[in-house]
Structure formats: C-alpha cells, structure tokens
Amino acid sequence: MTTSSISPQGAQPLPNSPEHGGARQGDDHSHIAPGEIAVGVIIGRASEYFDFFVYGIASVLVFPAVFFPFEQHLEGVLYSFLIFSFAFIARPFGTVISMVIQRRFGREAKLTSALFVLGTSTAGIAFLPGYASLGFTAIVLLSVFRFGQGLALGASWDGLPSLLALNAPANRRGWYAMLGQLGAPIGFFIASALFAYLYSSLPSEDFLDWGWRYSFYVAFAINVVALFARLRLVATDEYSRLLEERELEPTSVSELVRSQGANLLIGAFAALASYALFHLITVFPLSWITLYSDQSVTEFLIVQMIGAVLGAAGIVASGLLADRIGRRFTLGGLAAVIAAFSGFAPTLLDGGRVGQDIFILLGFVILGLSYGQAAGAVTSNFAPKYRYVGAALTADLAWLIGAAFAPLVALGLSAHFGLAYVSIYLLSGAIATLGALGLNRALARD
C-alpha cells in the first residue's frame, strides 16, 4: 500500500507515517510538499477571482446600458451592484448544500455538481440577451445566473487551504497562508487587461452588443478547467487520505453553529477591514470614475493593473512580515493602517487624476499587506472536526458581511451624501476587525 504524508520541517508527522510506527519498513512513501498543495490553492483562487472581477467590471461598464437602459447611469450601476451581491448571499447556501452532497455522495460528486452549476451560470450570462430583447425577463435571468455562480463557488470548497495551513512548517505559516491570496491580484490583473483591451479596441456599440461577452467566455473556460483540475487533484488517493487524516471532512452545519458559533462570527469579522477595502479600490472606484471623472476608463484600468502588481508584492511581503511578528498581529496592525487610510480617501478620490491614482496604488499596497493574511487567520480556533466546514463558512460570511454590498453602499452613499461616507464605511470595517481580534485574544486567555 502507498502511504502519503507531508513532512516538512516543523510540521507534525501524520498518524500513519513512519514516525508513528504505522507503516512498515520498505513501503513506498509518497511525499506531498506544502508547495504542491499551494499550487492547487492558487489555481482555485485565481479562477474564482477572475470570474469575480469579470462580473464586477461588467457591472460598471456593461450591465447598466444592456440590462437597465431605462434608468439613469447612476441608478443603472446601483442596480447592477445589487445583483452583484447576490453571489455572496448565495455562497453560504452553496456551502451548506454541498456539505450534504459530500456526506452522501462524496467529494467528487460535490465538485462535479459545482462545476456544472458554475459553467451553466457563467455561460448563461455570456449568451443572455439584454433588456431590449427580453425586457424584465433579462434582469430576472441575470439575477438567477448570478445567484447560481454564488452557489457554485460556495460548493467548490475543496479543503486545500485548510490542508495547507495544517501542514505548513510552523515557522513559515504566514508565508504559506499568503500563497492562496495571490489569486486575487492575478485574477484582477487578467480581468482588467481583458476589459481594457476590448473597451479600447471596439466601438462602443459593438462592445455593448457582443464584445463584453468574450470576457465571460474566457471566464467560463478558465473556471471549468481550473475546477476540473482541482477535482482531479483532490480525488487522488494521496490527497483524499491526507484530508481524512487531518479530519478535513464535512460535519453537520447545525452542530457547527451550536458548538462553534462564536468562532464562526469572530472569524467572519476578523478580516472585515481587508474585505471592505478589497472592493473600495477595485470595483467602486471604477464606477466613481465613469460617473464623476473625465479620466479615460482604459487608462484607469491600466492604473488598477499596476496596482494589482503592487498588491501582489504586498501579499508576498505580508508572508514575511507575519512569520516575523505573527499573523494576527499583522492583521490587527494593518487594520489600524486601513483606518488611517480611510481618512484620506475622500481627499484623494476628489483630487483629480493624480489623487485618484494615488488612492488606487497606495490602496493596493495596503490591501496586499492586509489581505495576504486575511484568510483563515483565526480558523485554528475551531476544533479539528469542525475546521473543514468552519473554514468554508467563515470565508463565506466574511465575504457577505465585508464585501458583498461594499460597492453598492459606497457608491450610493458617496453619490447622495458625499465621499466622506466612504471613509466612515471603511473605518467601520477596521474597527470591526480590531474588535474581533481583541475578543478572540480575550477568549483565548479565559
């Protein structure tokens, strides 16, 4: 029998590894390094974020004209942002439903169903006629497909981030934690580059008629291929055995809530500052530029692409920083930096092209440093049997609370009451993060 183990320096040996005497001498051991798991995590996150940003950018540049032509531009963008949030509302439901499927039919069946729903929903958006052809039905179908994307993303949880966290060397956990987060700037860079090319290369009429659909064709292809690759990865005997040995298996959600409800909420709020900032420097400023600035959309997307590169550098730096001073201390310190940054947001966004560019570039650096350690910062609080489901639901709730409505709220408040409300919104996220981390520390002492 082939035994699989992860045995980096500083990691605990697995129960059936030779160190525990569970394997016979001469057996052929297959060693899976944390770096191999990290590849699967990066593939999964990059594909998710690409899809995520394709929809977010289209919510600003496409959907107001295609699905809400009967409204003014501002109201059209706000309606688009409302539908944008549906995926985040759906994610926890997707996670809960998928855990039932996995317990009854297995991990492969769960991921296969997620692949089918995600592919159907993304392809549905790509081929969906606009309001001019279908009327209100087009808006209903867009909402259904967006909700389906959220269900699929919730169901696509494969446990690899938790497996990576459990098997990373003790002195490099911050480094391995940030690897999966690199998917965000990678996905955003590719999505922005694709839209910048299409938007600048096509006449406006062609772009709104058929050009934007190519982005969703690409999103369909990338997501299906990436999810299929992850399905093949986690279906192997080696990874299945590792997930089982680390107790990364689905448990009852109701039991999790009763037993670990406090940890679930702390985990959701612990990264709120990062998730709030996430949309306030990606999707929201693009909407602000198109509505209230004379800066070219293509040029602004290029600035955001440069910001994504800086954000990726910040994520890498966060791994080094966290291994030096600790992940939670890093997350708390960056929440304080985000709080300070929120005070400058109105001045920068209202400061013309130079101020807007500084807001984007500086914001991406801060986001990278913070977001690099935002995933699973306190999931170690969960008892081992609950960590698989707990990590998934924690991420779902963090996205729902911190990011789902961020573009809608920020644009709505700033358009009607002024940019100062963007500061208040971002500051509230920073306060929530500091409060959650403080509560977590207090409970740990008891």
pLDDT digits (tens, 9 = 90+) for 316-327: 999 899 888 887
- Please give the structure tokens belonging to residue 80: 């688009």
Look at residue 289 in the predicted model and tell me its pLDDT.
92
> What confidence tier does 438 reach under pLDDT thresholds 50, 70, 90?
confident
Number of alpha carbons in the 13 Å side-chain half-sphere of residue 102? 29
Share of the chain above pLDDT 90, in %: 45
pLDDT in tens, 386-402: 888 888 888 889 889 88
Residue (of 230, 196, 267, 227) closest to 122 by Cα position: 227
Q: Which residues of 339-371 are buried (b: 16+ CB within 10 A; e: fewer)?
A: bebbebbbebbbeeeeebbbbbbbbbbbbbbbb
> What confidence tier does 31 reach under pLDDT thresholds 50, 70, 90?
low
Look at residue 378 in the predicted model and tell me its pLDDT.
67
Under DSSP, is residue 314 helix (H, G, I), strand (E, B) or coil?
Answer: helix
Share of the chain above pLDDT 70, in %: 89
Residue 8: pLDDT over 70 = no
DSSP-assigned states of every residue in 98-159: HHHHHHHH-HHHHHHHHHHHHHHHHHHHHH---HHHHTHHHHHHHHHHHHHHHHHHHHT--S
Look at residue 413 in the predicted model and tell me its pLDDT.
92
Look at residue 7 in the predicted model and tell me its pLDDT.
36
Under DSSP, is residue 29 helix (H, G, I), strand (E, B) or coil?
Answer: strand
Report the chain's mean pLDDT, rounded to a whole number.
84
Q: Give the angle subtended at the CA of 73 by the CAs of 299 and 420, to the nearest 5°.
A: 75
Look at residue 444 in the predicted model and tell me its pLDDT.
58
Q: Give the angle subtended at the CA of 70 by the CAs of 67 and 73, to the nearest 5°.
A: 80
**4 or 384, which is more confident:** 384
**435 or 30, which is more confident:** 435
Rounded CA separation 318/330 (Å): 8
- Please give the structure tokens belonging to residue 243: 């997930």
Residue 19: pLDDT over 70 = no
Q: Give 437's contacts (C-beta < 8 A, 6+ positions apart).
A: 270, 328, 331, 332, 335, 378
Look at residue 230 in the predicted model and tell me its pLDDT.
74
Residue (of 389, 369, 362, 364) closest to 327 by Cα position: 369
Residue 81: pLDDT over 80 = yes
Residue 191: pLDDT over 90 = yes
Look at residue 282 in the predicted model and tell me its pLDDT.
93
Rounded CA separation 205/293 (Å): 22
Number of alpha carbons in the 13 Å side-chain half-sphere of residue 18? 10
What are the percentages of helix, strand and coil residues in the chain, rounded to 5? 80, 0, 20
Look at residue 22 in the predicted model and tell me its pLDDT.
40
> What confidence tier does 18 reach under pLDDT thresholds 50, 70, 90?
very low
Look at residue 218 in the predicted model and tell me its pLDDT.
92
Q: Which residue(s) pair with 3 in the sheet? A: 29
- Please give the structure tokens belonging to residue 214: 């190519």
Q: Are 41 and 159 in contact (CB under 8 A)?
A: no
Q: Are 304 and 192 in contact (CB under 8 A)?
A: yes
Rounded CA separation 157/146 (Å): 18
Global pTM? Answer: 0.86
Rounded CA separation 390/374 (Å): 15
pLDDT in tens, 96-136: 999 999 888 888 888 888 888 988 999 999 999 999 999 99
**77 or 259, which is more confident:** 77
> What confidence tier does 249 reach under pLDDT thresholds 50, 70, 90?
confident
Residue (of 168, 192, 155) closest to 54 by Cα position: 192
Residue 298: pLDDT over 90 = yes
**181 or 313, which is more confident:** 313
> What confidence tier does 29 reach under pLDDT thresholds 50, 70, 90?
very low
Q: Are 60 and 192 in contact (CB under 8 A)?
A: no
> What confidence tier does 328 reach under pLDDT thresholds 50, 70, 90?
confident
Distance (Å) of CA 169 to CA 11, 13, 233, 384: 5, 11, 22, 18
Rounded CA separation 21/175 (Å): 31
